């Protein structure tokens, strides 16, 4: 149709819906359906129309879920206040409030009744949302692929903007006075331009839209029964994004009725649950006082403005990425986006690697796809499943948390930036939730190979980015590096052989290794021969390029390795009867079992839960099944049959099965149980019995024999169409590799330090299968592609930001954005309800610039409030790229704890360097305070003041480790600590101090503990720290080579300052954080 015809058709549809909305829902029209309901006598029944029933159902659900906060039955009370204003008669208001509530209406399948004849409902807000949803639906059904429906600021969109981008909706900043609106032509201020994706809606409710009387909102407070009083603290506007405009409108109203920004946020967060049909996708709440602006923040996502600030500071870097699989390309794109010049070295003629061969899909929790599909999943379940799968190996808790926290962002990045349609979900073995994302089948039903598809999109994106150069058929030969004066290693570039066989040297600012595992290499010098000689000769799904070279080159310059003996066998690699001994085999996708395929032994019996962990299924095949008989009569690998009935074939996708069956010849067809028995070579009676048992298990939802509880398909003895294939476990993935941090930095053992702390090889990063410590003993299916994206992107950005103009970040008394990397629970190390928060500095080689003893300030926003807290770092001044702070995580930590506990890895806040004791190096070695060389440190601590003591003690003993000549004789120097606490539960750190001193410096650290509530059998101090304790347990009398540092709550330090003054301590001999002069 032409444009005029299309316009007329669209207008007709819109007018039709608008007229219907008016006739059904407008209480201003006497003949409307809602007016008829409002005129009902008590007990009288009304049969609602389909549209009315839909809206009433929504209203009832929301009234129940919000516990009465959302209530559209307020019309009598609202009209009363509008007529009477602020001076309304309280007794009449109380009488009206008794029935101006949703409970006055009884809504059932029978119809609508009222318990009070005066009860009336106002459905105008819901009706507007309903109408917008209807208009949008009808336009789409009429063939309009994209639409932007706006009615009074409530909006629903489909498709994309004509410019090829997502739609945007502007959210108006409320006027200073609730009763005033911007005049026509006056400049309008906006809080946000919200991005809306296909099918999303946004609705805004504000106290400036209408008022019942001056200072009284049109929204009623369910707690008081009266209008919400408009103040600077109450919510002035609420904007909500969901898929349903009707729901968005209702929730925006409910958020306003909650009163404060915090109350609105608490209510809306309850509607983010993926178990809901239309969960909240975004929201923005605003109050005038401050003003406060509260926006939904997805876990682990950095605020856009802070990210732009952080990434706008570094100088350009040249980053070399070795390996062109998904990890390498993810790193390259992220590095290029961070303004780096990128060179990718790929040993094969084309990029792709094993990533292109992946078939299972890619895992994530908390994604838009899961929410739309009603799958309730979060990091607790995902991390638990990953750790369960990884038992027997070293799954680094912080790496697993990073994998989980950044998983949704990884999926959305692939979808939004790479254009990969990851909208299909499945549940693989070992998973408690549907979280494996794939592309949906093509229009003809042909499955989309997910690894190949992701790599095709990623390759196209990388090759079209101006900052990325790709060199193929180039094989790395070694990592170029140098040893720094402090003993640490720093990578300077790579040496590689180009496509002509010429050896080349390529200097750069940082290297990212994404070279894959060692699953193919069975040579005499291979890692497989060294760590798993029992698997030498076992077939593999890996390409010949998987020889572990990146791991070897990292190990050559000192990188630590982990879990090198942990090699995953995939249970379903196809045995090709035409070439059964081929070393490289086709992988039988996880979806064969995920679609309902069952495994049978050579006698036709099931023997395993097909959806158990890969390691379990593989072990059962090797333990239970017979070896394959080769054509020459010799025995090969144990194997089993994989059987799919018609239902399982349909779910997997017959077009893809056609490839395996007709083109490659790996499946054979069988007609009924007789044909199945003939192909397997067993008795038909056994097959019938096996399938009967399985069908019964499907019906009862549990197989008592194998503990299987998820049954994708019902395979039974009456099925007529089967296809079967021969499968055997084969080498699929290597869990071991280079040890990395949760920031993708390659780690090595520290050259010095009191506790053997790991340190990184500077300018070297890694991601993907060449790393270890993420998957533990057995990788969870679907986690490999996710690992490539998450850690590839982390490595790319960290490498790109390596060149910082400032060597130190926090020494300029300015606020700087910092990103949280990890949170470590330290209840057993430092005391109950404590945790160490590790933040990243802007560059991996950057230092804080803070002297020992200085503290920092952290600042961030929560519920529109700016919260600030002060902490002493427990990391050392010479640590690169990170800063660690030790925090209490209970109410004793103060309001800032609410901010810290709201952060997840990847979140950001602001940080500023502050004052402190400032212990610095002396030109002749050792420490200096206020120009005096000091060898004796007294730490007088109480309550929350543990962190400075930890920092100073660690730094002191690290200095002695680096400068052996500075070690004092026992009794002539060292650290003495007095720590006052409430109970013994606060004393877990004592073991850490014991370890610190006993390991290398016995006699140079002592501590004395004072408890207000000691346990029975206590042998140290009781009550409070007095002058005698100071004299006896700390360095005394004062001396020029001594400094006393107080660490604790201000009231504690004030009392201790008084004690020291009475004892004659010179003021320059002690330092108090609370009295920093």
Active site residues: 570, 593
Structure tokens belonging to residue 373: 């599909």
As a whole number of angstroms, the distance between CA 871 and CA 1073 comes to 11
Greatest pairwise CA separation for the chain in angstroms: 101
As a whole number of angstroms, the distance between CA 780 and CA 403 comes to 12
The beta strand positions in 964-1004, using DSSP E, are 974-981
The candidate with the shortest Cα–Cα distance to 869, out of 861, 855, 859, 883, is 859
Contact by Cβ (8 Å): 40, 113: yes
As a whole number of angstroms, the distance between CA 830 and CA 822 comes to 17
Q: Collect contacts of 1007-1010 with beta carbons under 8 A, ≥24 apart.
A: 1007/976, 1007/977, 1007/978, 1007/979, 1008/976, 1008/977, 1008/978, 1008/979, 1008/1033, 1009/978, 1009/979, 1009/980, 1009/981, 1010/978, 1010/979, 1010/980, 1010/981
Contact by Cβ (8 Å): 229, 214: no
Contact by Cβ (8 Å): 125, 72: yes
Structure tokens belonging to residue 820: 């949280």
Contact by Cβ (8 Å): 257, 205: no
The candidate with the shortest Cα–Cα distance to 202, out of 237, 236, 252, is 252
- Strand 341-346 versus strand 318-322 pairing type: parallel
> Is 141 buried (19+), middle (13-18) or exposed (0-12) by CB count in 10 A?
exposed
Give whole-number Cα distances, 444 to 456, 648, 973, in Å.
21, 18, 80
- CA torsion 1062-1065-1071-1077 (nearest 10°) is 80
As a whole number of angstroms, the distance between CA 728 and CA 620 comes to 11
The candidate with the shortest Cα–Cα distance to 362, out of 275, 426, 281, is 426
Contacts of 687 (CB under 8 A, 6+ apart): 604, 673, 676, 677, 680, 717
As a whole number of angstroms, the distance between CA 996 and CA 990 comes to 10
Can you tell me which residue has the tokens 């698997």? 535
The candidate with the shortest Cα–Cα distance to 898, out of 266, 241, 239, 255, is 266
As a whole number of angstroms, the distance between CA 262 and CA 982 comes to 33
Q: Which helix (H) or strand (E) holds 765?
A: strand 758-766
Can you tell me which residue has the tokens 């349609």? 421
Q: Would the CA dihedral through 926, 927, 933, 937 be positive or negative?
A: negative
Q: Edge-to-edge, what's the strand order for the sheet holding 216-220?
A: 211-213, 216-220, 227-229
As a whole number of angstroms, the distance between CA 449 and CA 453 comes to 6
């Amino acid at each position: 149709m032409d444009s005029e015809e299309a316009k007329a058709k669209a207008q007709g549809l819109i007018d039709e819906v608008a007229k219907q909305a008016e006739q059904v829902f407008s209480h201003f029209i006497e003949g409307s359906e809602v007016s008829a309901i409002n005129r009902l006598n008590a007990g009288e029944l009304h049969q609602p129309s389909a549209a009315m029933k839909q809206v009433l159902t929504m209203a009832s659900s929301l009234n129940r879920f919000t516990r009465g906060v959302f209530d559209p039955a307020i019309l009598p009370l609202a009209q009363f206040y509008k007529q009477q204003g602020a001076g309304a008669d309280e007794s009449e208001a109380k009488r009206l409030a008794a029935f101006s509530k949703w409970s006055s209406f009884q809504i059932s399948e029978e119809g609508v009744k009222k318990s009070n004849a005066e009860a009336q409902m106002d459905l105008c807000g819901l009706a507007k949302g309903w109408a917008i949803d209807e208009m949008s639906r009808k336009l789409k059904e009429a063939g309009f692929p994209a639409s932007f429906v706006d009615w009074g600021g409530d909006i629903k969109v489909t498709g994309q903007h004509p410019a090829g981008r997502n739609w945007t909706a502007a959210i108006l900043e409320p006027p200073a006075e609730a009763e005033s609106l911007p005049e026509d032509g006056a400049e309008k201020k906006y809080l946000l331009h919200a991005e809306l994706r296909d099918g999303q809606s946004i609705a805004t409710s504000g106290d400036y839209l209408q008022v019942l009387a001056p200072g009284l909102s049109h929204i009623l407070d369910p707690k008081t029964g009266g209008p919400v009083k408009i103040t600077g603290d109450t919510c002035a506007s609420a904007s909500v994004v969901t898929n349903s405009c009707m729901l968005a409108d209702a929730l925006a109203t409910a958020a306003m009725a909650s009163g404060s920004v915090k109350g609105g946020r608490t209510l809306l967060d309850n509607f983010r649950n993926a178990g809901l049909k239309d969960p909240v996708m975004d929201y923005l709440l605003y109050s005038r006082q401050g003003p406060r602006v509260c926006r939904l923040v997805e876990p682990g996502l950095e605020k856009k403005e802070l990210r732009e600030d952080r990434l706008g500071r570094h100088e350009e870097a040249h980053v070399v990425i070795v390996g062109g699989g998904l990890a390498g390309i993810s790193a390259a794109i992220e590095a290029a986006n961070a303004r780096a010049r990128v060179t990718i070295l790929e040993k094969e003629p084309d990029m792709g690697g094993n990533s292109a061969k992946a078939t299972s899909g890619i895992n994530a929790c908390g994604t838009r796809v899961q929410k739309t599909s009603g799958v309730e999943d979060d990091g607790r379940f995902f991390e638990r499943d990953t750790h369960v799968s990884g038992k027997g190996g070293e799954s680094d808790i912080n790496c697993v948390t990073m994998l989980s926290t950044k998983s949704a962002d990884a999926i959305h990045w692939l979808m939004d930036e790479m254009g990969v349609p990851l909208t299909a979900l499945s549940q693989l073995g070992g998973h408690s939730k549907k979280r494996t994302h794939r592309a949906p089948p093509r229009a003809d039903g042909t499955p989309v190979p997910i690894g190949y598809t992701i790599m095709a999109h990623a390759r196209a994106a990388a090759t079209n980015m101006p900052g990325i150069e790709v060199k193929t058929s180039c094989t790395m030969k070694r990592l170029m590096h140098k040893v720094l004066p402090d003993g640490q290693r720093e990578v300077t570039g790579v040496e590689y052989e180009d496509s002509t066989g010429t050896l080349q040297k390529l200097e750069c600012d940082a290297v990212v290794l994404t070279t894959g595992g060692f699953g193919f290499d069975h040579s005499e010098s291979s890692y497989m021969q060294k760590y798993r000689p029992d698997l030498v000769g076992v077939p593999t799904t890996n390409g010949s390029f998987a020889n572990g070279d990146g791991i070897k080159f990292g190990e050559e310059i000192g990188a630590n390795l982990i879990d090198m003996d942990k090699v995953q066998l995939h249970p379903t690699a196809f045995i090709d009867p035409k070439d059964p001994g081929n070393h490289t085999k086709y992988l039988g996708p996880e979806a064969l079992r995920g679609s309902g395929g069952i495994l049978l032994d050579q006698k036709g019996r099931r023997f395993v839960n097909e959806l158990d962990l890969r390691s379990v299924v593989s072990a059962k095949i090797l333990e239970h099944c017979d070896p394959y008989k080769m054509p020459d009569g010799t025995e090969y690998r144990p194997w089993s049959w994989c059987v799919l009935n018609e239902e399982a074939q349909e779910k997997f996708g017959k077009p893809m099965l056609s490839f395996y069956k007709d083109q490659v010849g790996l499946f054979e067809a069988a007609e009924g149980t007789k044909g199945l028995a003939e192909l397997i070579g067993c008795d038909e009676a056994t097959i019938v019995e096996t399938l009967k048992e399985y069908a019964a298990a499907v019906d009862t939802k549990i197989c008592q024999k194998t503990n299987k509880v998820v049954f994708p398909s019902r395979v039974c003895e009456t099925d007529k169409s089967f296809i079967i294939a021969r499968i055997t476990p084969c080498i699929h993935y290597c869990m071991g590799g280079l040890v990395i941090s949760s920031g993708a930095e390659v780690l090595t053992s520290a050259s010095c330090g009191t506790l053997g702390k790991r340190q990184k090889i500077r300018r070297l990063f890694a991601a993907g299968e060449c790393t270890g410590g993420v998957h533990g003993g057995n990788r969870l299916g679907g986690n490999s592609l996710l690992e490539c994206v998450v850690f590839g992107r982390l490595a790319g950005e960290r490498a790109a930001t390596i060149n910082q103009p400032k060597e130190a970040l926090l020494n300029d008394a300015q606020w700087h954005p910092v990103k949280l990397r990890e949170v470590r629970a330290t209840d057993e190390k430092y005391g109950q309800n404590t945790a160490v928060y590790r933040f990243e500095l802007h560059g991996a080689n950057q230092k804080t610039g803070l002297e020992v003893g200085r503290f920092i300030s952290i600042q961030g926003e929560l519920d529109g409030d700016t919260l600030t807290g002060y902490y002493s770092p427990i990391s050392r001044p010479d640590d690169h790229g990170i800063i660690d702070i030790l925090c209490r995580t209970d109410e004793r930590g103060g309001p800032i704890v609410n901010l810290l506990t709201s952060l997840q890895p990847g979140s950001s806040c602001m940080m500023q360097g502050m004052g402190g004791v400032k212990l610095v190096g002396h030109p002749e070695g050792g420490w200096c305070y206020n120009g005096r060389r000091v060898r004796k440190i007294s730490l007088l601590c109480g309550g929350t003041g543990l962190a400075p003591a930890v920092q100073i003690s660690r730094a002191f003993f690290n200095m002695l480790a680096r400068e052996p000549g500075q070690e004092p004789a026992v009794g002539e120097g060292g650290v003495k600590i007095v720590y006052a606490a409430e109970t013994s539960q606060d004393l877990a750190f004592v073991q850490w101090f014991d370890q610190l001193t006993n390991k290398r410096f016995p006699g140079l650290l002592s501590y004395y503990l004072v408890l207000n509530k000691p346990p029975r059998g206590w042998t140290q101090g009781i009550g409070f720290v007095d002058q005698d304790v100071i004299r006896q347990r700390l360095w005394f009398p004062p001396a020029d080579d001594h400094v006393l540092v107080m660490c604790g709550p201000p009231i504690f330090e004030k009392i201790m300052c008084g004690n020291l003054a009475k004892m004659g301590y010179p003021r320059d001999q002690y330092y108090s954080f609370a009295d920093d002069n």
